Amino acid sequence: MTSAQIEIQLIASLVAIACAIPGVFLVLRKMALISDAISHAILPGIVVGFFITHDLSSPLLIIFAAFTGILTVFLVEFIQKTGLVKEDTAIGLIFPALFSIGVILIAKNANDVHLDVDAVLLGELAFAPFDRLELFGADVGPKSLWVIGTILLITISLLVAFFKELKVSTFDAGLASALGFSPVILHYGLMTVASVTTVGAFDAVGAILVVALTIAPAATAYLLTKDLKKMILLSVGFGVFSAISGYWLAHGLDASIAGSIASVLGIVFLIVFLFAPGTGMVSVIYKQSRQKIEVLLLTFLLHLKNHKEKKERHVNHLGEHINWQKSQAKSVLELALKNNMIVIENDIVSLTKKGNTFTENAINYITDHSEEAIEEMKKDFFLFRG
Amino acid sequence: MLGSFAVLRKQSLLGDAISHAALPGIAIAFLVTGAKESNTLLLGALISGLIGAFWIKSIITKTHLKSDTALGLILSLFFGVGMLLLTFIQKQPNANQAGLDKYLFGQAATLLEKDVWFMAIVTGVCLTVLLLFWKEFKLLLFDADYTKTLGFNIKFLDALITSFIVAAIILGLQTVGVVLMSAMLLAPAAAARQWTNSLAIMVGLAATFGAFSGIIGTGISASYPNLSTGPVIVLVASVFVLVSFIFSPGRGLLFKEIRFRQNRNDLKLHKTLSFMYDIAKTHEDIDHPHSVRILNNFHGYTKKSLHKLEEENLIVVIGTNWTLTKKGFEKAKNLYNQHIETND
């Protein structure tokens, strides 16, 4: 590994961490798309900043861009407050308009400078190490490393300082304001951090990757845990992992680093989405099919309990009576047999003692929600767990 | 047009997500066929857009992640994959690859006559299906559960409408580009929503707004050098939205503010009047004069409101004294009664 490679990975990891922390709160506050809006809407801010400073790397540019980001949030909130349209529509209206202004400004005035839309949207991490910061004549490392490092430091110290307040206001805005923290200040504080991070990261990794790095690790972590601290740690972990393995993927394919980091994030999310215990696709589908069959079982047992006469309990009659398909009926019968709830003699189905008490308990639970009776059943049946 | 459904279904940002999600489709279609024939690429875009749309749906229904997260996630991840593939293609020894990225920002000027015909046909198909399933779509939109109980296959309808939105977006991509597509989908519909509560009128209006912003936008961008079409169209559409927000008679901000003021003034007058009534009640004759000075701001009194009351013949002002007229007394009495009635 050359030092440039190490620096790129370092920058990517720092960006990943810096994005993941506000990302967790954005996802929890259902404002994930704000990051998308900010990342597009900062374009006019950058352009205007550029016209004033004529220097793409001036810190003033970051301030301008962050200001536009906050302006976006403010406009979105304003439109939403009028009640004319929903929040998502407000976001969808504001950022393309701001972005258009940015594109037109560039096209009109800055055709001949190094500032085009591609650079803003896509970014190029590979060039980051060549833009060095010189301090007192000495080379102290790539500039974006310092920029994003500073932002990260600020983010982390804010997070530590206001962790409790953020937590309360995220999960219970009413309680937060009753306790005397202003949700508005926290909201805009968070938005400021998100904008600054987006701006700081955009020139290294591009706007789209910022969105990916903000939302994806947090969403992945959210599928795995419901503990806020664990969620933050997990999303930081996912971010860094994707940053580094994404870099090597890009290295192998000789393709865009930003794109491959996002792709790795996508793969990680897909895996978690499918296989996360409890919340993943596989376990959700399993749970749903179990619950379905258990409802059927219960219906079946109730039917048996209600009918003492043999005709109603004949195996062939059941399919007709409850109107099940063959395979479904078979699996229900098997489940009941396995649990020793029914016995079949000469094609006549009858409840066992266990089946009888089970059905009674279930009826009691359904009619008066008495919790004690079903404690036993919870062990074997999903249906009674939630 | 289809945007109306997106806006009403609270899926406004679907357009944004889909337009980004189309990118890997374009890249893969190119990788597989090696051709830059626009229909093949569009097909690829359509497929990956659809995958994105349905993945979003399954994330929302199967996990506890909210729709905003799902949208943002799919948007950025698909776009990332698309970028990866595009840059990968760029390194390939194939001279044909140039110009793929024009899909990113769109170039209305590069459209060929063939493309326009193609768009017209797709628009026609959308329109026909929309008319055919009009009643079903409308029901689904406003009361999904009811639609289900009526025996319609809501999954099918849902998929149908989503597919059409996706198709519309993919077509629009060529014209305005990825970023601005969502505005094209949303802005006309959001503007139309302000003027009407009827779905049919809203769809019609949205189509008109969309068409006009297209025409005006292209006109402006053609008459100035160096102006790309897409952003101008979007800005024109945004102006439509802004105007609608402010000036629409039913929901607009301007009229809302006017109504708000009117109500406040009415309330103030009523307050003054009822206070006057309370005083006049304690005297035997209604026309017993009272000093203006006992009224103050707290009772909703201003010189203007006093004047207004006099204009309506509810009171008579003589010098610094006022008396309730017979009409004023009756009205104040009823006002009071009404007040009690509405409270009950």
Residues A65 and A167 in one domain: yes
> Residue B70: its chain A contacts at CB < 8 A?
219
Q: State whether B228 and A103 contact (CB < 8 Å).
A: yes
Residues A248 and A215 in one domain: yes
Low-confidence ranges of chain A (pLDDT < 70): 1, 54-59, 83-84, 109-141, 203-204, 310-313, 315-325, 366, 368-386
Segment holding A270, helix H or strand E: helix A257-275
Residue of A nearest to B84 (CA): A259
Residues B182 and B288 in one domain: no
Residues A255 and A144 in one domain: yes
> Residue B66: its chain A contacts at CB < 8 A?
27, 30, 32
Domain residues for A345? Answer: 282-384
CATH number for the domain spanning B204: value is 1.10.3470.10
Is A233 within 8 Å of A39 (Cβ atoms)?
A: no
Could you tell me which of A46, A100, A86, A101 has the C-alpha nearest to residue A69? A46
Residues A41 and A183 in one domain: yes
Q: Which of B223, B251, B279 is the last residue of a domain?
A: B251
Q: Which of A278, A301, A328 is the last residue of a domain?
A: A278
Q: According to the model, what pLDDT value does residue B1 have?
A: 45
Q: State whether A79 and B235 contact (CB < 8 Å).
A: no
Residues B259 and B156 in one domain: no
Residues B219 and B312 in one domain: no
Residue of B nearest to A286 (CA): B62
> Residue B105: its chain A contacts at CB < 8 A?
103, 117
Is B81 part of the contact surface with chain A (CB cutoff 8 Å)? yes
DSSP per-residue string spanning B78-113: HHHHHHHHHHHHHTSS-GGGTTTTHHHH--GGG--H
**Three-class DSSP category at B290:** strand
Residues A213 and A90 in one domain: yes
Q: Which of residues 222-241 of A touch B (CB under 8 A)?
A: 222-223
Residues B83 and B68 in one domain: yes
Residues B231 and B263 in one domain: no
Q: According to the model, what pLDDT value does residue A369 have?
A: 62
Q: According to the model, what pLDDT value does residue A282 have?
A: 81
Residues B93 and B142 in one domain: yes
Q: Which of residues 267-326 of B touch A (CB under 8 A)?
A: none
Q: State whether B87 and A259 contact (CB < 8 Å).
A: yes
Q: State whether B101 and A82 contact (CB < 8 Å).
A: no
Q: Which two tokens stand for residue A64?
A: 């301008």
The total number of structural domains that make up chain B: 2
Cα distances (Å, whole numbers) of residue A349 to A310, A313, A332: 8, 5, 13
Which residue pairs from A279-286 have beta carbons closer than 8 angstroms and sit at least 24 positions apart in sequence?
A: A279/A223, A279/A224, A279/B63, A279/B64, A280/A223, A280/B63, A281/B58, A281/B62, A281/B63, A284/B62, A284/B63, A285/B62
Domain residues for B173? Answer: 2-251
Of B66, B80, B226, nearest to A261 by CB-CB distance is B80
Residues B94 and B193 in one domain: yes
CA B196 to chain centre: 11
Residues B152 and B220 in one domain: yes
Residues A208 and A341 in one domain: no
Query: Can you tell me the mean pLDDT for B92-115?
Result: 58
- Range with the poorest average pLDDT among A55-59, B82-86, B138-142: A55-59
Q: Which of A278, A293, A317 is the last residue of a domain?
A: A278
Residues A272 and A297 in one domain: no
Residues B83 and B162 in one domain: yes
Q: Is the pLDDT of residue B342 over 50?
A: no
Residues A220 and A366 in one domain: no
Give the pLDDT confidence of B204-246 residue by residue, as tens digits: 777 778 777 778 877 887 777 666 677 787 788 888 888 888 7
CATH number for the domain spanning B330: value is 1.10.10.10
Cα distances (Å, whole numbers) of residue A298 to A295, A327, A383, B63: 5, 17, 10, 27
Is B252 within 8 Å of B246 (Cβ atoms)?
A: yes
Residues B202 and B162 in one domain: yes
Give chain B's mean pLDDT: 73
Q: Is the pLDDT of residue B40 over 60?
A: yes
Residues B82 and B221 in one domain: yes
Q: Which of A257, A278, A299 is the last residue of a domain?
A: A278
Is A99 part of the contact surface with chain B (CB cutoff 8 Å)? yes
The total number of structural domains that make up chain A: 2
Q: According to the model, what pLDDT value does residue B343 have?
A: 44
CATH number for the domain spanning A147: value is 1.10.3470.10
- pTM for this model (two decimals): 0.73
> Residue B83: its chain A contacts at CB < 8 A?
122, 208, 256, 258-259, 262
Give the pLDDT confidence of A355-376 residue by residue, as tens digits: 777 777 777 776 766 555 555 5
Residues A50 and A140 in one domain: yes
Q: Which of B222, B251, B280 is the last residue of a domain?
A: B251
